[in-house]
Amino acid sequence: MQTVNQLMEKIEYAIRSHNLVWNSQPPVNLYEPVAYAMSAGGKRIRPLLVLLGCQLFSDEVDNALPAALAIEVFHNFTLLHDDIMDHADMRRGRPTVHRQFSDNAAILSGDAMAFLAYKLLLESRTGEMQQLTGLFTRTALEVCEGQQYDMDFETRMEVSTSEYIEMIRLKTAVLLGCALKAGAICGNAGDDSADGVYRIGINLGIAFQLQDDLLDTYGSEVEFGKKIGGDITANKKTYLLINALEMAPPAVRAELTGWISRKEFSRDEKVRAVRDIYDLLNIREKTEQLIRAYTGDAMELLDNLPVDEIRKEKLREICLKLLNRNS
């Protein structure tokens, strides 16, 4: 059994040995943005989940390394394209790829990363290659659907909390489910266990995204590493805002929609005012409660997984860490 730190080192080493962070292969203008994106770090949660998913069933975690890299490269591909679509300037403390290079570079190098992900996935040592590529492909399509719903919601005033949960399931959670299940497949888990592991990832992913929403409004600026209130300023349809719009009595709702439609405002004043409304409606507590519910479901699924308790420890530790994070 490997510790989380050992698995993390494996991932970083594999990223390096696959020339993903430094690549002199021509055409330079295609592969340099790939290396730029892959070298920016990030938490490497998804590849870690692949290895942890494998380690639930097998000691041969190296068998899951190609799939781990594939899913990390795929995740970064989505960031390249999402950052163009969202006009995002900064990511992980550096200019986004389309800012650093160009929109065209972010489109084409992003495309190359999508296929690079398949190339890595196909290097997996598994007798279940078709299951693995099928899972990955279905997930990739769902992530596109999630991103589409997210963009659709920007221009829609009425979004229900259940629509929102479905959106983050597609945009965020299915990839965590895919990561864990891909690892399980590489660890020769049976179908039932692999499905159970997938559902752990779904619950974890939804909790994870809700936690993200919460941190953007209620996090500590120092630990969060960026300014608090970005979502409020941009009228982003987060769980907090959607829930507040659903729950607010007419007068409070009018105040909230007033802030949303205002074109000119003081950033700090708007963030404070909207947060006051959230406080009034107990949005923070409700969100925390929902996070606990999804986390609880994930932990229960993990409890019921028919593998030795000792194999579950690392994954349980990481899940709880992810959901109690401050950044």
Alpha carbons 46 and 249: distance in angstroms, whole number? 40
Which tokens in the block code for residue 7? Answer: 């698995």
Alpha carbons 142 and 167: distance in angstroms, whole number? 10
Which of residues 41, 134, 190, 296 is near its own copies by CB under 8 A? 134
Using CB under 8 A, which of the segments 3-11, 100-108, 216-224, 309-317 binds its own copies? Answer: 100-108
Q: Contact between 88 and its own copies (CB under 8 A)? A: no
Residue 183 · residue 53 · CB < 8 Å: yes
Q: Contact between 145 and its own copies (CB under 8 A)? A: yes
Residue 318 · residue 4 · CB < 8 Å: yes
DSSP state of 172: I
Which tokens in the block code for residue 324? Answer: 């109690």
Q: How far is the CB of 34 from its own copies (least distance, A)?
A: 10
Residue 161 · residue 237 · CB < 8 Å: no
Binding mask 44-83 for its own copies (x = CB under 8 A): -------------------------------------x--
Using CB under 8 A, which of the segments 103-111, 240-248, 270-278, 296-304 binds its own copies? Answer: 103-111
Q: Name residue 91's beta-bridge partners.
A: 94
Q: How far is the CB of 143 from its own copies (least distance, A)?
A: 9
Q: Contact between 152 and its own copies (CB under 8 A)? A: yes
Alpha carbons 78 and 75: distance in angstroms, whole number? 5
Nearer to its own copies, 145 or 195 (CB): 145
Q: How far is the CB of 161 from its own copies (least distance, A)?
A: 18
| Long-range contacts (CB closer than 8 Å, 24 or more residues apart) made by 298-305 | 298/200, 298/203, 298/204, 298/207, 301/196, 301/199, 301/200, 301/203, 302/200, 304/196, 305/56, 305/193, 305/196, 305/197, 305/200
Which of residues 5, 24, 27, 251 is near its own copies by CB under 8 A? 27
Q: Considering CB under 8 A, how many residues would be counted as binding its own copies?
A: 34
What amino acid is encoded at 183 in this protein?
A: G
Which of residues 108, 247, 252, 293 is near its own copies by CB under 8 A? 108
By CB under 8 A, name the binding residues for its own copies.
26-27, 29-30, 81, 84-85, 103-104, 107-108, 111-112, 114-116, 118-119, 122, 129-130, 133-134, 137-138, 140-141, 144-145, 147-149, 151-152
